[in-house]
Each structure stands twice: as C-alpha cells, then as structure tokens.
Structure 1
Amino acid sequence: MANGKPDPFAMGNPFLLWQQMTRIAWESQMVIAMRTAGMMGLVPQDVGEPARMVVEKADAASEAMLAALRAAGRGERADKVMAAALRPYRRRTKANVKRLSRKS
C-alpha cells in the first residue's frame, strides 16, 4: 500500500491462479468421467484403479499441505502459497487424464 492506496499488483497476477484452478477443475471432471466409465465396464480399466483413486487423494493432500507450509515459511505472498498448494493436484490431474485417455 503506497500513500494509503492499495497496490493492485500486490497480489501478483490473479489470472494465473484462476487459470490453474480452472485447469484442475476441467481435468478433474475428465478423470471422474473416465473412471466412472471404467467402473461401469464401458471402457477397459486397470483392476487397481479404484484403490489408486483413493490413495492418490491422500498423497496429494499431504503434498499440498507441505508445499503451502514451505511457501508460507519462506514468506511468500498468499497467491504464491495457494499456487504451491495447487501444484500437486494439477500434476496428478494432468497425469491421470494422460494415463486414462491412452488407448489400451
């Protein structure tokens, strides 16, 4: 805040954070649809996919918490902390879409 006025750039670029969240949301819906189709028997699916689905959520949550704590511990801005927390989820959703959409 300079001269009592809020700094519009103090929060970084909120568009980048919004873009990251949008990609995660889009890819998550794709993964849900592909896994549901697999569970219904409409597409081939690895036998361990349901267990993988549960385990990866716990792993991503713990990685996200650790990443956020590290970023906050370094004194990063709130948007950087949030981006760090979203990175493990984005990495997983991207990998899942790629893996689940491969032709068997």
Structure 2
Amino acid sequence: MYGFNPLDTMNAAFAGWRMAAEAQSVIVYRMMGMAGLWAVAPSENSRMISEKGPTLMAAQNAAMRKAISGGSAEEIYSAWLKPIGQKTRANQKRLAKRGFTHGCML
C-alpha cells in the first residue's frame, strides 16, 4: 500500500494510550479533590467542565484541516489528538504538583 508505514500507526496508538493514561490520572486527582484528599483549587470543578468544549473544537478543527489537506488516517488522528493530549498532559502535571491535603493520613 502506498505511503503506509506501520510505525506511524504505532506512534498514533501510543499517543492515544498516553493521553488516556493521563486523563485517568486527572480523573483520580479531581475525584480525590472532591473527596477532600487532594489539594485542588476551588475552581477545579467548573474548570473540568469549561475546558471540554474549546479543547474538542480545537481537536475537530485540527482533524478537519488535516483531512482536507489529504492527510492519512494516522495524521488525521494525530492532529485530532494533539490538542486533547496537550490539555490532559497540562492538567496531569498541574494537579500532580498539588499533593495531599493537610490532615490526609494516606
């Protein structure tokens, strides 16, 4: 098949798995924050809702631009995943720095 590179497929898959793992850790941090175990900002609950729309729109726009320009399936997926991955990575790093709340005995 012309232009097919299995490494492109693997790289796209690994990027998706990384994003999924980061998203799961963000969910855990936020749930621990809601339970009072993890130090999160008071605005975290509204932030987790308000960030979804703009991030998904950026992902859709990036994927559409790549598709219109004739990108492969892996390129379209990677373009779609990039804004989402950037957001999950930033959230994971930010929340990981917060730490347990004072008085948490875990």
**TM-score, normalised via structure 1 length:** 0.87
Q: How many residues align?
A: 98
Q: Which one-letter code corresponds to 1:10 in the other structure?
A: F
Match of 1:37 in 2: 32
Q: Which one-letter code corresponds to 1:49 in the other structure?
A: E
- From 75, 86, 93, the equivalent of 1:80 is 75
SS at match of 2:38: coil
Partners of 2:65 and 2:3 in 1: how far apart? Answer: 23
RMSD: 1.6
State the Cα deviation string for residues 1-34 of structure 1 (Å, max 9, x = none). Answer: xxxxxx2852552100110011011001100000
Partners of 1:79 and 1:41 in 2: how far apart? Answer: 41
Superposed displacement of residue 43, structure 1:
1.6
Match of 1:61 in 2: 56
Partners of 2:31 and 2:48 in 1: how far apart? Answer: 11
Identical pairs, percent: 33
Q: Which one-letter code corresponds to 2:28 in the other structure?
A: A
Partners of 1:58 and 1:11 in 2: how far apart? Answer: 33
- From 81, 87, 91, the equivalent of 2:86 is 91
Match of 1:4 in 2: none
- Which segments of structure 1 move beyond 3 Å, counting only runs of 4 or more? none
Unaligned runs of 5+ in 1: 1-6
Superposed displacement of residue 59, structure 1:
1.2
- From 13, 25, 30, the equivalent of 2:20 is 25
**TM-score, normalised via structure 2 length:** 0.86
Partners of 1:62 and 1:103 in 2: how far apart? Answer: 28
Superposed displacement of residue 44, structure 1:
1.5
